[in-house]
Amino acid sequence: MNKLAHMSGVSGRTLRYYDEIGLLKPARINSSGYRIYGQKEVDRLQLILFYRELELSLEEIADIIHQPNFNEIEALENHYAELMKKRAHLDKIIATVKMTIISKKGGRIMGDKDKFAAFKEKMIEENEQKYGKEIREKYGHETVKTSNAKLMGMSQEDFEVMTKIGEEIFTLLEKAYTTGDPASDVAQELAAKHKEWLMYSWTKYSPEAHAGLAEMYIADERFTAYYDKAVKGGTGFLRDAILIYTGQKR
Amino acid sequence: MNKLAHMSGVSGRTLRYYDEIGLLKPARINSSGYRIYGQKEVDRLQLILFYRELELSLEEIADIIHQPNFNEIEALENHYAELMKKRAHLDKIIATVKMTIISKKGGRIMGDKDKFAAFKEKMIEENEQKYGKEIREKYGHETVKTSNAKLMGMSQEDFEVMTKIGEEIFTLLEKAYTTGDPASDVAQELAAKHKEWLMYSWTKYSPEAHAGLAEMYIADERFTAYYDKAVKGGTGFLRDAILIYTGQKR
DNA sequence: TCTTGACCTTGACGCTGCGTAAAGCCTTAA
DNA sequence: TTAAGGCTTTACGCAGCGTCAAGGTCAAGA
């Protein structure tokens, strides 16, 4: 057993488990209860591992290898469809996570400029320490400057524009709030501006993710505190405006 | 409790579980032991659900929402990196599954032409029954013919070429086998031809997946039986040639 | 021959995030 | 007052093993 386990890179426990669930039985069991595997079993294990890598469940694998006239292609095609779904889902999640990171960073920028500035400087500093000397020697000082400017994936110009839009959102929120109606033109402009702000350092956008972020705003007191600084209840208003904007609410 | 559960779409059990692990405790518990939640808890749950959708584990979520000075951005960025890894992995799997499906279909084509022909005809027939009448009325007979020809993602011409390459592989295998060396020029030509055959109905290719398929060949007796029909031990030879071709072996 | 140590066995619990009973109190409408 | 429907806790189950624990088996050396 151990030989097989080491050969194929699986653990002894796994082999015992496969025996237990009837997926791979040893060729025979000797008088002292040891599991003895033959070449056939080695090959079978390879096949199992192959399918397992494809993320098929052990049960599905059992179906495929046990039943000689099982429709393998159909099973694989179903599995394929599931994997595609999974990937679509994953893509959505990845986009949302990235958006959340950016908006959190944005939240910091807006909520506490000094802190963020310090953070940014610290990163530039680290960058300097790591690569500065080497790059400076190779390409001169100008390159290093540019590199630092682009450090966070955006130019300093971009960075400033983003900050400005952030401020516009703030004033727009005050104005829109007076209408009292999250569906009003000004409120919808506000939501659009918020999207613009997100998109600034953003490539993919989905209404669902935008709406999800809005929901998060009211649940996270840092955001609540920030937007409510403009007007009391401002965060809730912004959320409602975004929900309407994204079509999640009427 | 039930109200909250219904409002937010989670089960009562989930709420109890979150209480149990200390993730979300109710505002208070009344004299009869009922869990009472307030607005603050509702918001907190929204936040939890948001993070949960991003596939963070409950433990990670707990870290984020409990510790006020926890480095959230870093946590999210780590999570982001993991998600990217996961997607890369998933892409690889998807490619392999697709390749496996195609090669299995190919295996059928080569291994049992009649069966496959019947299979193909059956699909065309089904296609006819489903859409034939409607399409024929709209676009005339010619369109339907073309549609059937493209049914399996390849034209009849493609199909024939693929079959032909399959046969070439067969003869090449016989020839290469006589050299006795899977690293020989002929054997490497064989491996290249095999890749060509795969690529015919294939868009993405990775050496790892090709090698994985080769390993599967010797583990699945249908393939073994087929390739060994050319020469005894042919399957093993083909595998070795592919492993060398893909750089998995020297 | 006996002991040592490496390897094998079965059995059992643990991990995640709940679903799903079972068995019994609490509340409310009829 | 009673029945119906909440609600509660307790506890097992799922997938795929990892990881002890407690003990049997094997070849080799003293």
Q: Is the CB of A69 under 7 A from strand D?
A: no
Q: Which nucleotide is nearest to B21 (CA to C1')?
A: C17
Token representation of residue A7? 């050969």
Distances (CA, A) of B189 to A165, B168, B178, B224, B249: 60, 11, 14, 20, 16
Q: Chain B contacts of A46, Cβ < 8 Å?
A: 215-216, 218-219
Q: Is the pLDDT of residue B124 over 90?
A: no
* DSSP 8-state code for residue A140: -
Domain boundaries, chain B: 2-66, 95-109+155-250, 112-153
What is the gyration radius of the CA atoms in chain A, in angstroms?
A: 29
Confidence of residue B107 (pLDDT cuts 50, 70, 90): low
Query: How many Å apart are CA B183 and CA B187, to the nearest integer?
Result: 6
- For the record, the structure tokens of A78 come out as 């179903």
Q: Determine what percent of chain B is predicted with pLDDT higher than 90.
A: 9
Report, as an integer, the average pLDDT of A11-26: 89
Most confident of B161-165, B201-205, B224-228: B224-228
Considering only CB atoms, which chain B residues are within 8 Å of A248? none
* Cβ of residue B80 closer than 8 Å to a chain A Cβ: yes
pLDDT confidence band for A2 (50 / 70 / 90): low
A108/A120 Cα distance (integer angstroms): 11
If one counts every other C-beta atom within 10 angstroms of the C-beta of residue A177, the result is: 23
C-alpha to C-alpha distance for A168 and A187, rounded to whole angstroms: 13
Q: Would you say the C-alpha torsion A61, A67, A73, A77 has a positive or negative sign?
A: negative
| Residue A129 DSSP symbol | I
With bands split at pLDDT 50, 70 and 90, how would you rate the model's confidence at B171? confident
**A43, A54, A91: residue with CB nearest B93:** A54
Query: Which is nearest to B172 in space by CA: B196, B193, B157?
Result: B193
Q: Does the pLDDT value for residue A23 go beyond 80?
A: yes
pLDDT at B161: 63
- Tell me which of B219 and B124 has the higher pLDDT: B219
Residue B140 backbone class (left: φ over 0; alpha: ψ -120 to 50; beta: rest):
left
Residue B57: helix, strand or coil by DSSP?
coil
> Which one is the CATH code of B95-109+155-250: 3.60.21.10, 1.10.3720.10, 1.10.490.50, 3.40.50.300?
1.10.490.50
B12 CB closer than 7 A to any strand D atom: yes
Task: Write down the pLDDT at residue A94.
Answer: 77
Rounded to the nearest 10°, the torsion over CA A135, A138, A141, A145 is: -40
Q: Per-residue pLDDT tens for B61-81?
A: 888 888 777 777 888 888 888
On strand D, nucleotides with any atom < 7 Å from a protein CB are 6-11, 15-19, 24-26
Q: Give the per-residue pLDDT at B181.
A: 93
* Inter-chain residue contact A73 with B101, CB threshold 8 Å: yes
DSSP A33: -
Cross-chain Cβ contact A93/B219 below 8 Å? no
| Residue B155 three-state SS | coil
> A165-207, pLDDT tens digit by residue?
777 888 889 899 999 999 999 999 999 888 877 665 444 566 7
B213-248 pLDDT per residue, tens:
777 677 666 567 777 877 888 888 999 999 899 887
Q: Supply the mean pLDDT for chain B.
A: 71
Whether A198 contacts A99, CB under 8 Å: yes
- Identify the band that residue B177 occupies on the pLDDT scale cut at 50, 70 and 90: very high
- A203, two tokens: 């490539």
Q: Say if residue B136's pLDDT is above 60.
A: no
* Other C-beta atoms lying within 10 Å of the C-beta of residue A61: 21
Instruction: Look at residue B39 in the predicted model and tell me its pLDDT.
Output: 80
B95 vs B196: which has the higher pLDDT: B196
Query: How much is the pLDDT for B187?
Result: 94
Beta strand B28-29 with A35-36 is: unpaired
Residue with CA nearest D9 C1'? Answer: B33
- Smallest CA–C1' distance to D25, residue: A32
pLDDT reported for residue A41 = 85
- Tens of pLDDT, residues A98-143: 767 776 776 544 333 333 333 333 333 333 333 333 333 333 333 3
B77, B86, B220 member nearest A90 (Cβ): B86
Does A219 contact B104 at a Cβ distance shorter than 8 Å?
A: no
Distance A240 CA to C17 C1' (A): 32
Q: Using an 8 Å Cβ cutoff, are A91 and A187 in contact?
A: no
Q: Looking at the C1' of nucleotide C7, which residue has the nearest alpha carbon? A: A2
In contact, A46 and B219? CB cutoff 8 Å: yes
**Residue of A4, A7, A50, A222 best to disrupt the B interface, most CBs of B under 10 A:** A50
What distance in Å separates the CA atoms of residue A220 and residue A223, rounded to the nearest whole number? 6
The CA–CA distances, whole Å, from A63 to A40, A50, B7, B193 equal 18, 15, 41, 32
Question: Cβ distance B192 to B245 under 8 Å?
Answer: yes
d(CA B224, CA B236): 8
Calculate mean pLDDT across residues A201-224: 66
Q: What angle is formed at CA A62 by the lines to CA A59 and CA A68, rounded to 5 degrees?
A: 140
Task: Establish if B43 touches chain A: CB-CB under 8 angstroms.
Answer: yes
**So what CATH class is A71-107+155-250?**
mainly alpha
pLDDT at A127: 37
Are B46 and B8 in contact, with CB atoms under 8 Å apart?
Answer: yes
Decide if A177 contacts A231 (C-beta within 8 A). Answer: yes
Nucleotides in chain C near protein beta carbons (<7 Å): 7-10, 12, 16-20, 25-27
Q: How many CB atoms lie within 10 A of CB A36?
A: 12
CB pairs < 8 Å spanning A and B: 92
Q: Quote the Cα angle for A197-A189-A199, to 5°.
A: 20
Residue labelled with tokens 């000397």 = A133
Tokens of B187: 């054997």
Q: What is the CA angle B120-B125-B130, rounded to 5?
A: 125
Determine whether the distance from the CB of A11 to the nearest atom of strand D is below 7 Å: yes
Q: Are B197 and B162 in contact (CB under 8 A)?
A: yes
Mutate to test the interface with A, among B41, B44, B52, B53 (most CBs of A within 10 A): B53
- Mean pLDDT highest for which of A90-99, B82-91, B181-190? B181-190
Question: CB within 8 A of A79, min separation 6: which ones?
Answer: A54, A55, A56, A60, B97
Instruction: Please give the pLDDT value at position A148.
Output: 33
Candidate CATH numbers 1.10.260.40, 1.10.3720.10, 3.30.110.60, 1.10.1660.10; the one for domain B2-66:
1.10.1660.10
